[in-house]
Chain A
Amino acid sequence: MGIVIQLLINSLIAGAIYALVAAGFSLIYSTNKFVHFAHGSVIAFSAYMLYLFYSILKFNFGIAVILTILFSGVFGYLLNLIYKKLRERNASSVILLIASVGLLILIESLILILFGADVKTIGFLKIAKGLEIFGGIITPLQIWIIIISLLLLGFLYLFMKKTKIGKAMRAVADNKDVAEIVGISSEKIYSYSFIIGSLIAGIAGILVGLEQNLEPAMGTNLMIKGFTGAVIGGIGSVSGAILGSFLLGFTENYGIWFLPSGYKDAIAFTLLFIFLLFKPRGILGKKWGGDK
């Protein structure tokens, strides 16, 4: 019984982190219609920003967190400016995808140059004794990770459903040309989706940074998992990305009940290929094209 509960807890933690990454990624994909792999670099950027503000500059933790989140949003906005320049030159989605991979490598390399290759620890939380729930162990930080993720995802859902920007984002995601015809600036919406997606990635970076060690390539692995979650859930659907990420977290963690833990990534990618082969639109994926 204990192991089932422990795997359930691990699945929820992994799913919550993947969902934050996938939700931001999917939001950007749905409006911009290209795969923004550099989204992973925003996670690494924010984790290192927190390290800079809190561990090096010795800011108050709360202020360091607020600054990190704000910087992540600004960072996302700046990334979009690079893509905007490419779009103005009629760059296709493939060119933007290549640019995003280039940006991911470039930003990770810059982090490597500035902070070094050795792993860093933020060290805000002292090692805490985990709570025991029906034989499973969970630390207070892990409880916070799950709560903050669920609150953020709920907030994102309401934002998309209830606000004008949320509706305009869904309109641009659905049909950019028609959105323009009714007076919505798609460029403005692209910027907003980058800012919101990066704010969420920034929070994910903070949570991961507090839970694990920091290394320059930390964003790539998370991005791959977030991308996998988004494909499983239905790329372009934010709710699908969240659902897919939790499914991925559960499959990965319960998979290692039967297989050695080294196969965790292999389980994730097997699941990805199963979906790509048999259900390429994912669980909640939309029919491509819509009304044209």
Chain B
Amino acid sequence: MLKVENLRKYFGGIKAVDNVSFEVRENSITALIGPNGSGKTTLFNLISGVIEKDSGKIILDKKNITNCSVNKISNIGVSRIFQKSRLFSNLSVRENLLIAIDNEDLKFWKNFLNKNKITREKESKVKKMLKLVEMSEFENKKASELSYGQKRLIELGRAILNPHKILLLDEPVAGVTPRLRNEISKLLTKMREEGETILLIEHDMNFALNLADNVIVMDEGKIIASGKPEKIKNNKKVLNAYLGE
């Protein structure tokens, strides 16, 4: 599904992503783990086009997306959430979700003449998502009025609703309550069963290893290990990177 080949990004002398290659299989959860500053978020930013690569190739579903703009990459099929929630603060919760599935036809005259109404199907998708994340009563609240955990859930909902082939989740459970963490874990497992492909960054090793089918471990911009969670748990290099031995 997603193929990253010899990807490189340096910031001055810092090798943020250094010759990284890996593949994410379709219909799987792949966890990207590693200590702080190991290059995980930079890698997400490269895949989603937020920053430009120095060299390398990114292929999604046989399509080269390496030099595409952020919105084009999103429309090709990469949907993501950020480490710190980014919602449209002045839009309502409903509008935040709706905009992810309702921006495909921005033809000027069609909109000008208001012939481009929101379909019932899209409305019902938004309602379902709000129910799923248990936030139906917040539908008309402005996003800026939500708590941190609520913002996280709406951002996750928006990323899921945004038509995609792969979901990039940057620490989806950071800062949420243990109950919500379980709920999100169940939701992601269910999504995989329904055929979703997910690449996630997670600091909580247990959460990542319990959920993922495959694990990629990064340190200092390089991949130091990859494979099944059971294998990664006992990998010496990984333990060294985390414990600094």
Contacts and interface: CB of A to CB of B under 8 A. Distances in A.
Majority SS at the chain A contact face: helix
Interface in B62-100: 69-72, 74-75, 80, 84-91, 95, 98-100
Interface string B92-136: 000100111011111010011010100000000000000000000
A178 B90 contact: no
A163 B111 contact: yes
B108 A291 contact: no
A195 interface: yes
B115 to A, nearest CB: 10
Interface stretch (A52-60, A166-174, A202-210, A259-267): A166-174
Contacts of B151: 291
Contact of B103 (A162, A175, A182, A192): A182
B89 A174 contact: yes
Nearest to A186: B71
Contacts of B70: 177, 180-181
A281 to B, nearest CB: 13
Interface in A175-190: 175, 177-186, 188-189
Contact of B102 (A167, A186, A286, A287): A167
Nearest to A166: B111
A192 B143 contact: no
Contact of B88 (A171, A180, A192, A287): A171
B48 interface: yes
Contact of A183 (B88, B112, B114, B162): B162
A129 interface: no
Given A163-B112, A170-B91, A195-B108, A185 B69 contact: yes
Contacts of A184: 71, 99, 103, 106
A290 interface: yes
Contacts of A177: 50, 70, 86
B144 interface: yes
The listed residue with most A CB atoms (<10 A of its CB), out of B103, B104, B105, B116, is B103
Interface in B198-240: none
A165 interface: yes
Contacts of A188: 106
B5 to A, nearest CB: 23
10 contacts: A165-B106, A165-B108, A166-B111, A170-B91, A174-B90, A177-B70, A178-B87, A182-B99, A186-B71, A287-B144
Interface of A: 159, 162-168, 170-171, 173-175, 177-186, 188-189, 192, 195, 286-287, 290-292
